[in-house]
Amino acid sequence: MITMSHIPVAIVDDKRLLREALVNNISYYKEINIVLQAGDGADFIEQLKPLAAEKRPQVVLMDIEMPVMDGIEAVAIVKSLYPDMHFLMLTVFDDDDKLFEAIKAGASGYLLKDEKVSNIVKAIAEIVHEGGVPMSPRIARKALALLRNTPNVAEPVKPIEEDEHLLSTREMEILNRIVDGLNYQEIGERLFISPHTVRKHIANIYDKLHVCNKASAIKVATSKKWFS
């Protein structure tokens, strides 16, 4: 079971009533501390500027379609300023362009607004404690289908034999399970190793593939056709 301890969270949404409802619902979970609310990306950035490091949110629930500055632009800007801040896109949109734009901007997850609050809280914990990339099931299926059908135009696909030296057998096993959508705990249970060992292997995978998140690792694996 995932546990949390006072994770500082911000909520950015231009619809005040929806934002306040989300704040009220999440506030029932004592492990989470709502430290900031904003009505658009520009407002969020302005509120961040005077905050000391220990006062900043660790996870931001970010809407996409907002006036002044939308969520994707805000994520890209804030990630360049505060790379350790995590963004969980919380939106009514599940279209292809928005999904990939959010991932490229640096989003750590992508949930639809009709998700249960308990699932949103669980996703926050997964991001913080497991380095996960939580997605609503509908979004995850769409993302995997898009990644499998999108060629990597920047680098020609190579046969797996040319890349075998990159990853060890164990790292390939773990990457395969990342592609399948498993989290650290589930991977550890499947391979009979601890989540800490899984985390170390994944860090090595990211380093060898020159990526920084699960979504990018999956894209590399699918573009090289390592797994069917």
Per-residue pLDDT of 185-218, as tens digits, reads 888 899 999 888 888 888 888 888 887 777 777 7
Give the end of a domain, one of 112, 136, 160.
Answer: 136
Whole-number Cα distances in Å, 45 to 30, 78, 141, 149, 167 = 26, 7, 32, 35, 39
* pLDDT over 80 (residue 31): yes
Question: Does 155 share its domain with 122?
Answer: no
Question: Does 109 share its domain with 196?
Answer: no
Question: Does the residue 145 lie in any domain?
Answer: no
Question: Does the residue 2 lie in any domain?
Answer: no
* pLDDT over 60 (residue 156): no
Question: Does the residue 119 lie in any domain?
Answer: yes
Confidence bin at 5 (pLDDT 50/70/90): low
Question: Does 44 share its domain with 107?
Answer: yes
Q: Residue 89: beta bridge partners?
A: 62, 110
Question: Does 54 share its domain with 128?
Answer: yes
Q: CATH number of the domain that 179 lies in?
A: 1.10.10.10
How many domains does the chain contain in total? 2
Per the prediction, the chain carries an average pLDDT of 82
Question: Does 113 share its domain with 199?
Answer: no
Give the end of a domain, one of 136, 169, 184.
Answer: 136
- The rounded distance, in Å, linking the Cα atoms of 132 and 174 is 14
Element (H, E) at 43: helix 41-48
Question: Does 95 share its domain with 187?
Answer: no
Question: Does 131 share its domain with 155?
Answer: no
Write down the pTM of the prediction.
0.62
Give the end of a domain, one of 102, 136, 170.
Answer: 136
Residue holding tokens 């949110």? Answer: 57
- The rounded distance, in Å, linking the Cα atoms of 75 and 116 is 23
Question: Does the residue 1 lie in any domain?
Answer: no
Amino acid at 16: R
Question: Does 124 share its domain with 159?
Answer: no
Confidence bin at 143 (pLDDT 50/70/90): low
Question: Does 59 share its domain with 23?
Answer: yes
- The rounded distance, in Å, linking the Cα atoms of 33 and 203 is 29
- The rounded distance, in Å, linking the Cα atoms of 162 and 156 is 12
Question: Does 17 share its domain with 129?
Answer: yes
Q: CATH number of the domain that 75 lies in?
A: 3.40.50.2300
Give yes or no for a contact between 133 and 143, defined as CB atoms under 8 angstroms apart.
no
Confidence bin at 164 (pLDDT 50/70/90): very low
Q: Which domain covers residue 108, as residue numbers?
A: 7-136
Question: Does the residue 228 lie in any domain?
Answer: no
Question: Does 115 share its domain with 200?
Answer: no
Question: Does 40 share its domain with 132?
Answer: yes
